[in-house]
Amino acid sequence: MKHKEQRVLVLFDVQNLYYSGKQLHNCKVNFAEILREAVAGRKLIRAIAYVIKTDIEEEKVFHEALEKIGIEVKAKDIQIFSGGAKKGDWDIGIAMDAVRLSPKVDTVVLVSGDGDFKDLLLYLKSHGCRAEVIAFGQTTSKHLLEVCDDYLDLSKNKKFLLGLKPQHPRRKFGFEGAQ
């Protein structure tokens, strides 16, 4: 149950959101709307976005936009392995911040569909926090859905998407190659 006196921590797994928005809807994600929905009239204590640094110029503008709406940005470099494989992952960082900050809040809102966070949600709940999840339904792990106290599917409302283009009728029904 949500009420206005709850203190809220919102944790954004930016890579998870970015790739889900791009793959599912071919658009960007509206972080301001997601933050507004996550807080839901309650007391925002802290909002943190976890990002992986890239060489893209637009990245700085994006980070500044997040900060402007009240989201702290934590960034780390991408790992490049000897074989050329790349890895960028904040799962442990997100979990550690959630654990460290949970005594100061009543609700932790995880903005990610990553099933690796199931044990984190169980931990938070066992220590008296509400554990809420916001993510795209098609890429949300069923394990998160089984344990969270509340869930919001971003795919069900276009206000969470930026640059959504109307889909051509032929593409909508799987006729991409048809003339």
Residue-range domain boundaries for the chain? 26-172
The answer to whether the CB of 109 falls within 8 A of the CB of 37 is no
- If phi over 0 gives left and psi between -120 and 50 gives alpha, with beta otherwise, what is residue 150? beta
d(CA 140, CA 37): 18
Helix (H, G, I), strand (E, B) or coil at 150: strand
In CATH terms, the fold of domain 26-172 is Rossmann fold (3.40.50)
pLDDT tens for residues 46-76? 999 999 887 777 888 889 999 999 999 999 9
d(CA 161, CA 154): 8
- Which ranges of the chain have pLDDT less than 70? 84, 86-87, 164-179
pLDDT tens for residues 106-123? 999 999 999 999 999 999
Tell me the CB-side half-sphere exposure of residue 107, using CA atoms within 13 A: 25
Beta bridge partners of 74: 50
How confident is the model at residue 172, as a pLDDT?
45
Beta bridge partners of 48: 11, 72
